[in-house]
Chains A and B, each alone.
Chain A
Amino acid sequence: MSFGFQLVHARPGRASTLLLSWLLFALGVGLYFYASQRRHQENSEDRVMPTVSQMFHGMSDASVKPAEDDDAVLPDNASLRQKFFASMLWKDTLASSRRFILSVLLLIPAVLLGLHMGLFPYVGVVFLRFVLFFDKIVALSLLPILFIAFGIDELSKIMLIVVGVTPTIILDTFNLTKGVPDEQVVKAFTLGADDFDVAYRVVMRQIAPRVLNSIRLNLKAVMLFLFAGEMIASTDGLAYRIALLRRHMGMDVIIPYVLWVALLLFLVDLAMRLVNRKLHPWFQEA
């Protein structure tokens, strides 16, 4: 049956692609403002759906006023840049980024373990079953144990992320290593390579772009565990602020914060994709 227009074979033009792809954004923003305006007409004290100007005020307070719990006093004539670096937003972003970067760096040993498990049968035999078991543990259920064992400071938050994401990365790298054709390994040996040449110069380099992709896709999980940790036990960080402002119904700051986090994550993702393409020009996205 024909509908009079093509579905599978449809070819949206440039203009309609642009228009249609932004349609839902426009609709969402429009609906929000409509609803917000209606609520403010009924009750000018409404805190659930702040107006643009309210969010702008909340956000400019957060990004140029010194953090409230900060002792440092800025001179009156401080530049905008100085003000920004002393602000609540900057402090929170910095605290969260530190934890985020540390956790991602701790994924490097996971990649190396996965590689060796996939390539050296004895390492695989020792670790595979254990990692498979570990992978099934719900990381958040370990949170109380982590708090008891490591205290409620940085270490337990980092450990939560490591426990949550590491098994996935190990198993992913393991599978990618297994996916490298046998011919490649055999060929390398016939050319005089030793076991470590094969591991680091042949297999590792081949799976590197896919491993980076896998880490990129798991950034979401890293953020999830990071936010869980920050919301429950922290004195700074983006998620701490969001959780704190919830108590005051501070939607004028919460909404911009959520968008800010999304923007940051998008930028990290984009940067990793660009770096991946730059580092591995030979890589053919399958």
Chain B
Amino acid sequence: MALIETKNLSVDYGTPARPVLTTINLSIEEGEFVCLLGQTGCGKSTLLKLILGAERPTGGRILIDGVEHMQPDRTRGYVPQEYSLFPDKTVLDNITFGPEVSEFNIFTRLTPRYLRRRRRFRDEAFGYIRRIGLHERDARKYPHQLSGGMQQRVAIAQALATNPRILLMDEAFSALDPGTRKDMQRLIRQLWRDTGITVLFVTHNTQEALCLGSRVIVLAKETPDSGAHIAMDLSVPEPCHEHQIPTLVHHLEHASGSAREPEEAVLATA
């Protein structure tokens, strides 16, 4: 059984109803790194929010490991483009927040057991801080004291701290400068390999989709008034050679620009 499965998913916005997504049938296996690619406003963020449980579909169902989830929960970690960290908490507290609230509620937080566990949470958080390439002295800083790249690093650590099976990233690196972006792509690829987590990564950047994903899904609209559908579902060979990227980029951009029937493409490794 697939880890994430959508069945005839469709979404309309507003009155009169304007379709955003139509009949999305998607099946994602455990351990895949799926990049969701499409032009601005084609509904790729909406699809991510549906899988996240932050929005409800107009029609169809979403199954996570065979179960329907009505709101966001621990099975799916989330890293948005902005506002990903709690501004009132230090880096350390941002990372320990997940483990803390997962295990303790408002009342059990008053028990001595909480204080003992807290020390463990902190030790683990320091492990994450080292792993994402931050200094230990950064642990006491507040998010606004960090650069955009550092903030996103912490956001990833925060999401991973609760060991979710799925990581949903919404244009997570789009606000970063090219150099930082490259570093972040390397980091997330590394973390994906190490943890075997399933990643769904939304981006409008074809190059980024290709160098990150093990699979690239292109969303596109037939006409401006119709809802988006899956225009292309592409398995990216591993490793994706640098010299292949330009042709792939061209191929994909053609697909997301002028939509056609879904096509399955598997590129042979050179």
A binding-site residues for B, Cβ under 8 Å:
181-184, 186-194, 196-197, 200-202, 205-206, 208, 280-284
Which residue of B78, B89, B161, B162 is within 8 Å of A186 (Cβ)? B78
Given contacts A189-B73, A282-B144, is CB(A181)–CB(B106) below 8 Å? no
Not counting A188-B86, A191-B102, a sample of 16 additional A-B residue pairs whose C-beta atoms are within 8 angstroms of each other reads: A184-B86, A186-B72, A187-B158, A188-B101, A189-B71, A190-B52, A190-B164, A191-B158, A191-B162, A192-B73, A200-B106, A202-B86, A205-B86, A205-B89, A280-B88, A284-B144
Bound-complex Cα distance A183 to B89 (A): 16
Bound-complex Cα distance A117 to B89 (A): 24
Q: Which residues of B contact A193 (CB under 8 A)?
A: 97, 101
Contact A190 B78 (CB under 8 A): yes
5 CB < 8 A contacts A-B? A186-B80, A205-B86, A280-B88, A282-B89, A282-B142
Q: Which residues of B contact A184 (CB under 8 A)?
A: 83, 86
Given contacts A191-B97, A205-B88, is CB(A181)–CB(B83) below 8 Å? yes
| B84 adjacent to chain A (CB < 8 Å) | yes
Q: Which residues of B contact A188 (CB under 8 A)?
A: 86, 97, 101
Contact B84 A183 (CB under 8 A): yes
Contact A194 B105 (CB under 8 A): yes
Bound-complex Cα distance A192 to B162 (A): 8
Interface hub of A188, A189, A194 (most chain B Cβ within 10 A): A189
Contact B74 A281 (CB under 8 A): no
| B77 adjacent to chain A (CB < 8 Å) | yes
Bound-complex Cα distance A206 to B142 (A): 13
Contact A182 B54 (CB under 8 A): yes
Contact B159 A190 (CB under 8 A): yes
1/0 per residue, CB under 8 A from A, across B135-168: the answer is: 0000000111000000000000011011010000
Q: Which residues of A contact B83 (CB under 8 A)?
A: 181, 183-184, 187
Bound-complex Cα distance A138 to B269 (A): 76
Given contacts A190-B77, A191-B101, is CB(A181)–CB(B82) below 8 Å? yes
Interface hub of B52, B87, B143 (most chain A Cβ within 10 A): B87
Interface residues of B in 71-115 (CB under 8 A from A): 71-74, 76-78, 80, 82-84, 86-89, 97-99, 101-102, 105-106
Nearest residue, chain B, Cβ from A187: B78
Given contacts A186-B54, A186-B78, A191-B74, is CB(A197)–CB(B86) below 8 Å? no
Cβ-Cβ contact count across A and B, 8 Å cutoff: 85
Bound-complex Cα distance A283 to B144 (A): 9
Bound-complex Cα distance A184 to B97 (A): 13
Nearest residue, chain B, Cβ from A182: B54
Nearest CB on A from B215, distance (A) = 22
Nearest CB on B from A256, distance (A) = 43
Nearest residue, chain A, Cβ from B145: A282
A-B interface, 8 closest residue pairs, ranked by CB to CB distance from nearest: A192-B102, A191-B98, A189-B72, A181-B83, A183-B83, A282-B142, A193-B101, A192-B74
Bound-complex Cα distance A190 to B143 (A): 19
1/0 per residue, CB under 8 A from A, across B54-82: the answer is: 10000000000000000111101110101
Contact A192 B78 (CB under 8 A): no
Nearest CB on A from B96, distance (A) = 10
Q: Which residues of B contact A282 (CB under 8 A)?
A: 87-89, 142-144
Nearest CB on A from B249, distance (A) = 30
Which residue of A197, A206, A208 is within 8 Å of B101 (Cβ)? A197
Q: Which residues of A contact B80 (CB under 8 A)?
A: 183, 186-187
Q: Which residues of B contact A208 (CB under 8 A)?
A: 88
Q: Which residues of B contact A202 (CB under 8 A)?
A: 86
Which residue of B54, B88, B98 is within 8 Å of A192 (Cβ)? B98
1/0 per residue, CB under 8 A from A, across B164-201: the answer is: 10000000000000000000000000000000000000
Bound-complex Cα distance A182 to B55 (A): 11
Contact B142 A281 (CB under 8 A): yes
Bound-complex Cα distance A200 to B54 (A): 20
Nearest CB on A from B174, distance (A) = 14
Q: Which residues of B contact A196 (CB under 8 A)?
A: 105-106
Bound-complex Cα distance A111 to B106 (A): 19
Contact B88 A190 (CB under 8 A): no
Q: Which residues of A contact B89 (CB under 8 A)?
A: 205, 282
Bound-complex Cα distance A182 to B54 (A): 9
Q: Which residues of A contact B77 (CB under 8 A)?
A: 190-191
Contact B106 A197 (CB under 8 A): yes
Nearest CB on A from B151, distance (A) = 13
Q: Which residues of A contact B99 (CB under 8 A)?
A: 192
Bound-complex Cα distance A183 to B54 (A): 9
Q: Which residues of B contact A280 (CB under 8 A)?
A: 88
Q: Which residues of B contact A186 (CB under 8 A)?
A: 52, 54, 72, 78, 80
Bound-complex Cα distance A79 to B80 (A): 66
Interface hub of A201, A202, A284 (most chain B Cβ within 10 A): A201
Nearest CB on A from B220, distance (A) = 26
Bound-complex Cα distance A189 to B98 (A): 9
